[in-house]
Every structure is written in structure tokens, then in C-alpha cells.
Structure 1
Amino acid sequence: MRRVERLHALTEMLRRSGPRGCTADRLAAEFGVSVRTVKRDIAALESSGAPVWSRPGPGGGYGLAARATLPPVSLSPAQAVALLAAVSAAHDAPYADLATAGVRKILDVLDPVTRRKADELAARVWVDAPPPASRAIRSALEEAMAEQRVLRIRYGAGDGGTTTRDVEPIMFGSRGGRWYLIGWCRLRGAVRWFRVARIERADVTAAPCGDHGVDEVGTPPPTARSVRHHDSGEYTSVS
């Protein structure tokens, strides 16, 4: 997770913690960073004008002043549960952490009656999904895609072999309930699909990507589309 995204998620967590606040240890565990990094992030939020308060000593921690709230949001209980179901079922999707934080932010400002009804309805919707790739791997993939920088990945193939490759990320794709990183593989010199769950390590390099575009991925089936609009193209498997 890039620092700017972590600062946003940190703000949301502090806001949700309410008057009880949140300890530095808990924040560090949540975001997979050190307590020292958390304290630097808190200082950055304070410098930016965020209404952060701190309480020293045992049982102390950090929080966000009550005035840091959102304007009222109008959703029906079913709409609220639809958002919860979507982010819960796609917890391994790109930018899922940010999506979850956004939905929580919306739910927190619903009126009490709508929130209660949404909670009751949500208890009737269950999701059983395998654990996603580690936060470090997902954050590296997301950063490389957003910044269009080359990724160095360690990839475990279906036959048990492992390779290290430099990949220029082009897009994320979901097929059959599985998420893939689709990019130009410099090892193979071609577009390849990498199943995210098989990426054992991912590091963002300083090298910029070339000019490979979505059109090189090919034509998707009629049932596939981007989250922006319908596209077209052909699939290439990993080798």
C-alpha cells in the first residue's frame, strides 16, 4: 500500500474508532508497518490539518475529532448491503482495501434506523472466500499498475516450478472467480496472464513501462467488460 493510500486508510480507521481511539500497536498491526512508521504517519496527518488527537500513557492512543464527519448519505438498507456484499465477495480484487474503507465510511454516516436495518439484513448474507494474497504483494501490484512501473515478481507455476520475471503491468482481469495480473512479460517477450494467488513476491522497480496497451491483451468474451465500459480482445495464457 502506497503511503498516500495508507494515510487515507489510517484516517478512516481513526474516525471509525470514535472517542475510544486506537493504539499505535493496533494501527501498526493493521497496516503491516512499524510503530515508528505509524507515528510518522500521524505527524503527517496533523501537519496536513487533520483533527487528530492523542492520549499518552497506558490505554492511550490516537483518534479523530468528532467534527471530522461526512455529510448525510441517503441509501436504502438493501443498497447498503449490496455494497457490503460486493466488497466482501471481491476482497482479493485490486484496490479492495480502499473499497472496503470507502464502504465503511458510507455506512458510518447512515441514519441509525437505516444502519440498524442494514445490519440485520447483512447478517443474512454470508461470504466464504479464500484468503487473498498478502497485503505487501497486493500493494506492490496496485502501485506498479497505477504508476506504470515494471514489477519484478517471483511466480509459482501450476507444475510447481518457480520463475523470477520482470513484468510491465497492463491491466487486472478476473476470470472464473480468480484475479490475474496481465502484463508484458520480459522473460517471454509476450503478454501473459499471472494468477495473483501464485505470485510469491512482488517488488516495484524504478523502471517505467513501455508502450504496451490494453489492445494487446486481445478480445474478451462477450460476457467480459472493464469496470468503465465494454471492451473487446483475445486471451493469452501464462507459460
Structure 2
Amino acid sequence: MNRTDRLYAIREELRRAGPAGRTAERLAATFEVSTRTIKRDISTLQHSGFPAWARPGPGGGYVVDPGATLPPVNFTEAEVAGLAAAAAVHRDQPFAEHLRGALNKALSVMDSGARERASSLTDRIWIDATAAPASAKVERSLEHALNEMRVITLDYVDHKSAATTRRVDPIILALTRGHWYFVGHCRLTDGIRWFRTDRIIGARLTKERASVIPVDAIGAPPSSASSLTDR
């Protein structure tokens, strides 16, 4: 697990722990790192604005503000089947790992009977996903670039087999015409470009903050397309 993924996982672990909190030792054992690494990671989260603090004394540890946690949530069998269908459609696609994580969380809070009914329902849903995937490492880098709005360096091979390396400010991820695209402002050509994710052979996240480019800068989407917010 790289540090960015671990920071996210620590944040979610503290949210799940609620008022009980987690000691540095327990977090270190969970993520197989040293307690010094955990303390450094918690400090990073705190400086980024995450509301976690150390509770001193016996039984102390790190706790998170109750406002950053979720109340108990109940899922219906159909809702879990919907998550499972979405995870199947987006297997090996951007944010698929996080979607599977959400599905596993939903399953973990269901009783055994509800899980069996959800499984029976998902057995009746077939998916034939054909979109070409990018590598898992590339996908994670693209996700982080978009989520954290950081410049990313791409090694790209175009339809003519020409290879180039470009620094890109992320704008959107788009699924259209049977392919995923990473859309951003290419600093090499000083213009907005659509990069097919299965043609990105390398992706390296930089520490540089990306320019915030409005989505409408890429032009109007097809009439059949919309953001997830609009669906």
C-alpha cells in the first residue's frame, strides 16, 4: 500500500472506530508499518484539515470528531445488487477498487439472511464488460491526480504508435464510445487533450498543485452524457 492509499485507509479506520478511537500501536499493526510512521501520517492528516486528535491517558489513542463519522446505515438487497452491478461494469476501470470497498462495507453490515437474498439477486444479473482497462497502477495515479488536483506526468502512445511524455492538469475522467478517457490541459501542446486510459503506459503523480480548469472548458458533452452528479 502506498502512502496516499494508507492515509485514506487510516482516515476511514478512524471514522469507523468512532469514539473508541485507535491507538498508534493498533494502527501500526493493521497497516504493517511502524508507530512512528503512523504518527507522521496522522500529523499529515491533521495538517490537511482532518479532525483527528490524540486522546491522552490509559486507553487513549487517536479519535475523530463525531461530525466526520456516519450513523448506522441499512442497505436493501436491491441497493447492494446495484452496487455489485456497478462494480462489475467498472471492473478494472477508474475508481473500481473504491467501489468494491463500498460494496464490501455494505455487505459487512447486513445480517446473514439479507446477504443471502442479495447474493440470490446478483446471481440474476449478468454483465458483459468490454471497455479496455488501463493498468492498475495507472488507474490509481489518475484517480489521485483528479481527487487531489495535482499535476500528473503521462507516458502516452497515440493511435499512430507515437510515444510522448506529457505533464497534464486534470479536468475529468470520461467514459464514451466504449473507452475511458483522462481529459486535461496538456502542458506540452498547451491545449486540452483527451487521453485514452488504455494507451497510457505510465503515470507519475507530481507534488505540484494543478491549475483548476472548469469542466465547461472542454466544451459541451454529447446529449447522452452527463456527470455522476446529474444522474
Tell me if both proteins adopt one fold, taking TM over 0.5 as the criterion: yes
Other-structure match for 1:219: 220
Cα shift at 1:226: 0.9
- State how far apart, in whole Å, the 1-side matches of 2:74 and 2:32 are: 35
Work out whether residues 80 and 107 of structure 1, in 8 Å CA contact, stay in contact via their aligned partners in 2: yes
Other-structure match for 2:65: none
State how 1:222-233 maps to structure 2 within 5 Å.
Answer: 222-229=223-230
Cα shift at 1:164: 1.0
Other-structure match for 1:177: 178
Q: For this pair of structures, how many residues does the alignment match?
A: 186
Counterpart AA for 1:109: V
- State how far apart, in whole Å, the 2-side matches of 1:211 and 1:103 are: 31
Work out whether residues 150 and 168 of structure 1, in 8 Å CA contact, stay in contact via their aligned partners in 2: yes
- State how far apart, in whole Å, the 1-side matches of 2:183 and 2:88 are: 23
Other-structure match for 1:113: 113
Other-structure match for 1:44: 38
TM value normalised by structure 1: 0.67
Q: Secondary structure at the match of 1:129?
A: coil
- State how far apart, in whole Å, the 2-side matches of 1:41 and 1:145 are: 29
State the Cα deviation string for residues 173-195 of structure 1 (Å, max 9, x = none).
11023211100111221111001
- State how far apart, in whole Å, the 1-side matches of 2:166 and 2:136 are: 20
Q: Secondary structure at the match of 2:183?
A: strand
User: Kindly, what percent of the aligned residue pairs are identical?
Assistant: 37
Change (3 A) 1:213 1:6: same
State how 1:103-182 maps to structure 2 within 5 Å.
Answer: 103-129=103-129, 132-182=133-183
Change (3 A) 1:4 1:164: closer
> Where does the alignment leave 5 or more consecutive residues of structure 1 unmatched?
16-36, 50-69, 231-239
State how 1:180-195 maps to structure 2 within 5 Å.
Answer: 180-195=181-196
Off by >6 Å, runs of 4+ in structure 1: none
Moved more, 185-194 or 132-141: 132-141
Which has more helix, going by share of residues?
2
TM value normalised by structure 2: 0.69
State the Cα deviation string for residues 16-58 of structure 1 (Å, max 9, x = none).
xxxxxxxxxxxxxxxxxxxxx952178739x979xxxxxxxxx
